[in-house]
A and B are shown apart, each in its own frame.
Chain A
Amino acid sequence: MATGDLALGQEQGAISTQKRVVNDFSINVATVNGSGSQSANSVLLKSIFGMGVPVSGKNLFPSNIAGLPTWYIIRANKDGYVARTRDTEFLVALNPETAKSDVMALPAGAVAIYEESLNLKQYRNDIVCYPVPFDKITASVCPEAKLRKLVKNMVYVGVVAQLLSIDLAVVEAGVKKQFAKKQKVFDLNFGAVKAGWDFAQEKLVKQDPFVIEKMDKTAGKIIIDGNAACGMGAVFAGVTVVAWYPITPSTSLIEATTDLLKKYRVTPEGKATFAVVQAEDELAAIGMVLGAGWAGARSMTSTSGPGISLMGEFAGLGYYAEIPGVIFDVQRTGPSTGMPTRTQQSDLLSTAFLSHGDTKHVLLLPGSVKECFEFGYESFNLAERLQTPIFVLTDLDLGMNNWMSEPFAYPEKPLDRGKVLTKEDLDKLGGFARYKDVDGDAIGYRTLPGTMHPKAAYFTRGSGHNSSAGYTEKPDEYQEVMDRLARKFDSARKLVPAPVAVKNGTSRVGVLAFGTTDFAMRESLDQIKKQYNKDVDYMRIRAYPFAHEIHDFVASHDRVYVVEQNRDAQLESLLKLDLPADQVVKLRSILNYNGLPIDARTITEEFATKEGL
């Protein structure tokens, strides 16, 4: 028995009688980048999921291939809260470099599991310490020295699973899924899990209150990251041309898209119904997207802030020459290179007005992996319907982390390919004017190159043009097109995803938020209700231009807090441009912009301070 290692000594009795903490805590696995802990973290996450307990995982990783510290935070929460929490209660300290600071950051009553030689109990006497001879255990199950670094991670999975009472069979299923079809790899890894489990069972005395108990809250649910979900959306939108340039954190979006295309979009004859091009830079990527969109393909790219900056000039061309295309922006921490592996919602203003002149873009703002999928395919319909680039803004937190979700539903509506005139149409019409508002919705008709009719062609340009696509410098002709573009943007208000009134009761106070802020926002509203007995209304914004419901929401409240993850209150700024002056004064900001996903407590505290609660 390892009783000598107990940090709490005489308090041991107190712990054993203290209230158990069931399915409501966070685990922090501190490792070194490149140590291969990802599979182990994934197995642990899926094991908790397999126990039916709502769970989320966040990878806090460095912009580095190997050697710098990495933390993986798993939150298990019986109520389904999946946002980041400020504290983690269960530390697995595998990185000697950060072990001291990691253990010092724990709240009282927390747990630390660590390589026994680190002797972390010397730093704290108010936590539970479980020293584990990881290297010794690993060596005993893994004769091959070079594999030990990887296998060691599975040992901690075993130790943690045993301490938290996770069903070993569930863990086994998780390992099996992770290493599908590779029996040898499975044997080695599950052997390590088992060795960790056995050690914990034989040598450690449970002194902490944290346990996982079986629930049924994950039945039928899936786990997926936002980038994969966006890619899936694009594939089910029938994307045909993908052009991209690698950039964190958006790369895996394209990789997921490409994998699906290769699997599901090759004809029986072995021919591709798609083209994927790794471009020389983001300028070329967006250029290819617009070239393809112009010629009639469903085209997309994916990038992050620095790529968005480079795409500026082309984005203006896309807006003014009215060319469809989809741009996924997986936002990361700016400005400049910023913190490439940390999250932020700070590209809102730069994408909304990307490019010079009077340019405005349609933004879609998914707030879950399910919406990544839905907006992923809807963005292509909107791009072709509105004949304009559509920006889908997610962020690193949503894009690169695993989230639980209801399974995605197959899009029931057929693809909307927008207003395209065929040869037969032209035979009837005798001709057309590319930029003329025929239907009163400010959207013109276009033709595709290759349409075999002598009147099909038109001249596409970013220079001044009239409604027949002719070059112009005439003031009235130029302005006619610009005014129509403004009306078209107004048409978009009714076509983009409407906001969700999460709660719209009788409160005089409301909040507005978008994207990943939603997870913390919902939790915070429950905290505010519980702690202050105060009801607050909440509307989640899902697109720009803003739908009229958002105006109504602001109008029907005295004060409206805009909660977002950037320094400059970018959503609030956009709202200020849109709302009448007497409504603007109602807006107040709650901001988080340190690179970590926003947590509920931060919102609650700031809300309480500002409301004088």
Chain B
Amino acid sequence: MAATATPNPKVNRIGLPILDYRGGKSTLCAGCGHNAISERIIDAMYEMGVEPERVMKMSGIGCSSKSPAYFMSRSHSFNSVHGRMPSVSTGAILANHTNMLLGVSGDGDTASIGVGQFVHMMRRNLPMIYIIEDNGVYGLTKGQFSATADLGSKLKTGVINDLPAIDTCALAIQLGATFVGRSFSGDKKQLLSMLKAAIAHKGTVMLDVISPCVTFNDHEGSTKSYKFMQDHDEPVNEVGFVASFEDIEVDYDSGSVYEVEMHDGSSLRLRKLQEDYDPTDKANAVKTLMEAEANHEVLTGVFYIDTEKPTFTDLLNMVDEPLATLPESLTRPPKETLESLMKALQ
């Protein structure tokens, strides 16, 4: 019998087809922004050729936090408790700093119940990609405002939000995260480039991704709806990313592009859309975000990047091997050590 020639599936640089980056079937609502973000995560991990087994998918509780089940089934995943993804992630990376942390949280999980752990994680510059799937409402409990809902935005029931939003990006920049940006689940190109750059970054990447809730917050009067984002999305820069393994020469006017060299030799190219926006100027980044809020604009793009600051795991000066699997000879001091300790106590 003649062999049927099957076309080789397309594979990435480590020889894996995109299928190996997929997850289970999503149980979120059709049209939910979170599903689009899961797709971009799959694309970014595939295109960057990340080994799935090296990724630790983390989450808290909420619609967003269910999503790690819907991408990268070959990665270990930890759906922890509400608002506590940062601490669990911290422990996990200390146990094995050769792995990569990818966390998916929501606006309630981050900015309300989890704001305490969130700020301390930012402060530590823990090496982690922290994604907020931000829709301004609690979905699983049927549509209450979250702390990122904008002042004056309206619930389906007609209730008006009378408290100011917490700007997680401004907070993250001020506290010490070293790669901070905002995107929109509906902007495939921008989100993919930002995620790929995030994979190349060493330190805390905090991405606030506006991700409309089609069931509870996609109506007239919502500031987190598809329509509102299409009308109000103001990119500060156009995000381009060239991975270290890509051999692409792009001609560009250096005056119009801010180029950042990443740790792994990749290049993040931020085309200036707003006049001379400098993503390494911390104070200006926060000021720009505050001004945008006053003008009812939703800024997107990479707001801040610092490729020099040591990460939390750098500061701990650990051995190169993962602590988790160090041999007993390195973790249990010898008998003589105990004997000398005992002698000193006599």
Give the complex CA separation of A277 and B88 in angstroms. Answer: 13
Give the complex CA separation of A254 and B81 in angstroms. Answer: 26
Which B residues lie within 8 Å of A270 (CB)?
A: 317
Which A residues lie within 8 Å of B317 (CB)?
A: 270-272
Inter-subunit contact A236/B325 (CB<8 Å): no
B331 at interface by CB-CB < 8 Å = yes
Inter-subunit contact B74/A291 (CB<8 Å): no
User: Closest residue to B94 on the A side, CB-wise?
Assistant: A275
Question: Is chain A's interface secondary structure helix, strand, loop, or mixed overall?
Answer: loop
A198 at interface by CB-CB < 8 Å = no
A83 at interface by CB-CB < 8 Å = no
Q: A278 → chain B, closest Cβ, in Å?
A: 10
Inter-subunit contact B56/A284 (CB<8 Å): no
Known: A275-B323, A291-B88, A295-B324. A241 touches B333 (CB 8 A): no
Which B residues lie within 8 Å of A239 (CB)?
A: 331
Inter-subunit contact A299/B328 (CB<8 Å): no
A532 at interface by CB-CB < 8 Å = no
Inter-subunit contact B319/A273 (CB<8 Å): yes
Cβ contact of B53, chosen from A293, A299, A313, A457, cutoff 8 A: A457
User: Closest residue to B82 on the A side, CB-wise?
Assistant: A313
Q: Point out which of A237, A272, A292 has the most chain B C-beta atoms below 10 A from its C-beta.
A: A292
User: Closest residue to B58 on the A side, CB-wise?
Assistant: A291
Cβ contact of A223, chosen from B318, B330, B341, B345, cutoff 8 A: B345
Cβ contact of B346, chosen from A221, A297, A414, cutoff 8 A: A221
A496 at interface by CB-CB < 8 Å = no
Inter-subunit contact A287/B318 (CB<8 Å): no
A453 at interface by CB-CB < 8 Å = yes
Give the complex CA separation of A299 and B117 in angstroms. Answer: 19
Which B residues lie within 8 Å of A512 (CB)?
A: none
Give the complex CA separation of A462 and B81 in angstroms. Answer: 7
Known: A240-B331, A448-B324, A450-B99. A275 touches B318 (CB 8 A): yes
Which A residues lie within 8 Å of B91 (CB)?
A: 241, 243, 287-295, 297, 299
A317 at interface by CB-CB < 8 Å = yes
Q: Mark B113-140, 1 if CB is under 8 A from A, else 0.
A: 0001100100000000000000000000
Known: A235-B333, A241-B91, A273-B323. A449 touches B96 (CB 8 A): yes
B161 at interface by CB-CB < 8 Å = no
Q: Mark B57-82, 1 if CB is under 8 A from A, else 0.
A: 00000000000110001111111110
A232 at interface by CB-CB < 8 Å = yes
Which B residues lie within 8 Å of A238 (CB)?
A: 326, 328, 331-332
Which B residues lie within 8 Å of A451 (CB)?
A: 53
Which B residues lie within 8 Å of A453 (CB)?
A: 53
Give the complex CA separation of A223 and B91 in angstroms. Answer: 34
Inter-subunit contact A291/B87 (CB<8 Å): yes
Q: Point out which of A270, A288, A291, A463 has the most chain B C-beta atoms below 10 A from its C-beta.
A: A291
Cβ contact of B345, chosen from A224, A240, A277, A292, cutoff 8 A: A224
Q: A446 → chain B, closest Cβ, in Å?
A: 10
Which B residues lie within 8 Å of A220 (CB)?
A: 346
B249 at interface by CB-CB < 8 Å = no
Cβ contact of B331, chosen from A298, A448, A458, cutoff 8 A: A298
Give the complex CA separation of A411 and B333 in angstroms. Answer: 11
B148 at interface by CB-CB < 8 Å = no
Inter-subunit contact A241/B81 (CB<8 Å): no
Inter-subunit contact B117/A280 (CB<8 Å): yes
- The A-contacting residues of B in range 73-109, CB under 8 angstroms, are 73-81, 84, 86-96, 98-99
Which B residues lie within 8 Å of A289 (CB)?
A: 91
A415 at interface by CB-CB < 8 Å = yes
21 contacts between A and B (CB under 8 A): A238-B332, A243-B91, A264-B333, A264-B337, A271-B318, A272-B318, A273-B318, A275-B318, A283-B84, A283-B116, A287-B81, A287-B90, A288-B90, A291-B92, A292-B94, A294-B92, A295-B99, A410-B339, A415-B331, A449-B53, A456-B76
Q: Which 8 A-B pairs have the closest CB atoms?
A: A291-B91, A287-B87, A296-B324, A238-B331, A297-B95, A295-B95, A292-B91, A449-B76
| Extra 19 A-B pairs, beta carbons < 8 Å, given A295-B56, A458-B76, A460-B76 | A274-B318, A279-B87, A279-B120, A283-B84, A283-B87, A283-B116, A284-B117, A287-B90, A287-B91, A291-B92, A291-B94, A295-B93, A299-B91, A410-B338, A449-B92, A454-B53, A457-B53, A457-B77, A462-B81
Chain B residues proximal to chain A, CB less than 8 Å: 20, 51-54, 56, 68-69, 73-81, 84, 86-96, 98-99, 116-117, 120, 316-320, 322-326, 328, 330-333, 335, 337-339, 341-342, 345-346
Chain A residues proximal to chain B, CB less than 8 Å: 220-224, 232, 235-241, 243, 264-265, 267, 270-275, 277, 279-281, 283-299, 313-314, 317, 407-408, 410-411, 414-415, 447-454, 456-463, 471
